[in-house]
Amino acid sequence: MDTNAETLPRPQLAILGQVDADDPSAFNHCFAEVNGIRMHYIDEGEGPLVILLHGFPYLWYMWRRQIVALSGAGFRVVVPDQRGFGQTDRPDSIEAYDMSQAVGDMVGLMAALGETSAVIVGHDLGAWVAQAAAMLRPDLFRGLGMLNTPVPPRGKVKPTVGLQEMAKGRVYHHLYFQQIGKPDRELSSDPRKTLRSIFYSVSGSAVGAERWRLFVEPGEPILNAFTEPEEFPSWLSAPAIDYYVNEYTRTGFTGALNYYRCRDRNWEITAFLDGAVVRQPSLFIGGAADPSLEPVEIRSLYDRLDTYLPGLQTKVLLPGVGHSAAEESVDQVNELLLEFLEQFER
């Protein structure tokens, strides 16, 4: 495995203190050849390693304020664009996005960093990768954090079957995204409208009919489930939105969507994980106003997290917060993460 890492000039966030976190150029951007791809990541601070994984449709950038807080508190904070996202390579084949490859990227990244131990924290899609990494390589990942998405165990039923049963004739977004081409085109037709609509509708700022509708009717476009606000709430600035829009305008959404197209494949290749749990110290931070937790089947995963995570130490739903907890409630998330990380050696 090629672990050559390329590092660009590095500002000292911990020294600057009052860094403008919305400015991407304020961070130390690096690249490494890992697991057959070129991966882009942010690398800040010194100390025990913490890896932060973004969800969909986010990027490394969603963690910008956590990078500042954690690196300033004495941790080495590494935040990649996962494969298919941002400045990291986007392989063509759908199979390149299965969980074995996503975890392989994290193992390769640690080798490139010269590290042998990390706490891994993931949001949304990143929570799936973080959970799998902790389960498959407990020798490398000594702690697990999940934001907003309570990841279930493997289960006895193929994911598409279970999701169809939950949808009851409607279409859940995980199923919608498994279509080839159509969702890619719809999301890419106007990236600014797409991202503003999604980020707003999944947040705690959206109320009533503005909130994300988790199911669409057969034949209905997925963007009908979201509402674009006239003015975006202050927790996501105009420059922040511009960064997301510029990146997705450049890359499109296909790489990101390919993770959803591997849901059944992941289940099929992990029969050996049937009944497995994550025993490392773990943390879950969610939003009490997160629409994704509304289905009874999903909320039950949150309620039973202790069963799947015997080492679970903290499980909290932040009032008024939606699916973008790290951006909507920066101080609370930073405080909870730092409290969890205190137990790991410095």
- Output the domain CATH number for residue 257: 3.40.50.1820
Strands 282-287 and 141-147: parallel
What is the phi/psi pair of residue 172, to 5°? -80, 150
Evaluate if residue 329 carries a pLDDT over 80. Answer: yes
What pLDDT sits at residue 345? Answer: 78
Residue 36, domain member (yes or no): yes
Q: Which domain holds residue 257?
A: 5-341
Instruction: Summarize pLDDT for 76-89 with one digit per residue, the tens.
Output: 999 999 999 999 99
Q: Which of 12-16, 96-100, 280-284 has the lowest mean pLDDT?
A: 12-16
Residue 178, domain member (yes or no): yes
Residue 129, domain member (yes or no): yes
Supply the residues annotated as catalytic.
Answer: 124, 323
**What's the pLDDT band for 14 if we cut at 50, 70, 90?**
very low
Instruction: Summarize pLDDT for 60-77 with one digit per residue, the tens.
Output: 999 999 999 999 999 999
> Per the structure, how many domains does the chain have?
1
Evaluate if residue 326 carries a pLDDT over 50. Answer: yes
Instruction: Summarize pLDDT for 225-279 with one digit per residue, the tens.
Output: 999 999 999 999 999 999 999 999 999 999 999 999 999 999 999 999 999 999 9
Residue 109, domain member (yes or no): yes
Rg (CA), the chain: 19
Residue 118, domain member (yes or no): yes
User: How far is residue 51's CA from residue 56's CA, in Å, rounded to a whole number?
Assistant: 17
Evaluate if residue 96 carries a pLDDT over 90. Answer: yes
**How would you list the strands of the sheet with 76-80, edge to edge?**
5-7, 29-34, 37-44, 76-80, 49-53, 118-123, 141-147, 282-287, 312-318
Under 8 Å between Cβ of 302 and 177: no
Instruction: Summarize pLDDT for 140-189 with one digit per residue, the tens.
Output: 999 999 999 999 889 899 999 999 999 999 999 999 999 999 999 999 99
What pLDDT sits at residue 5? Answer: 53
22 or 15, which is more confident: 22
Residue 346, domain member (yes or no): no
